[in-house]
Structure formats: structure tokens, C-alpha cells
Amino acid sequence: MGGCIGNTQGENGLDLVVTYSSTNGTVVESYEEGERVEVSGVELTFDFSQTTSDADLTRYGVNFLDGTPGTTIEANEGNAVTVEFL
């Protein structure tokens, strides 16, 4: 996971605390006659509610740095990011 709190000058304290209730799950794919007909994914939620900062936080996010876009939420809308794995 990667992260940044923005373009700031000086020393600002950041205590990044991420909690989660699940660390794994099972993706189920169903096939009929060789064709995939159904996929049941897994959702994992990353909770940033215990994160503190001397600066104003604007966004929380999870980015796996694998070329896919990160999943984010604006800090004024919540503090938990849910990622779906298919």
C-alpha cells in the first residue's frame, strides 16, 4: 500500500493506523460447458478511523501498486475503504 498526505512544508506528525476484520476470503467462479457464468468476489475493508495527523487529511486509500487504480474515499465522507477482489 502507498500513501501521501499532500504537499506540506515543515514537520507534521502522522500516525497511520489501519485495522481490518478479515485478511482473506475465497473467490468462487462457476462454469457451465467451459464458460464462466458466475463470480462471487470477496470484499475486504480497511479502517483508517484511528489514524491521526497534525495536518488535515483529505483522502484515505488503498493502492496495491500493481498498475490498477487505487481505491479511495474522501476523509469528509468516511474513513473506511472497501476493496473488492474478483
Grid cell for residue 30: 462457476
**How confident is the model at residue 24, as a pLDDT?**
93
Are the C-beta atoms of residues 86 and 38 closer than 8 Å to each other? Answer: no
Closest of 65, 67, 61 to residue 83, by C-alpha = 61
Confidence of residue 71 (pLDDT cuts 50, 70, 90): very high
Q: pTM (2 decimals)?
A: 0.75
pLDDT in tens, 29-55: 999 999 999 999 999 999 999 999 998
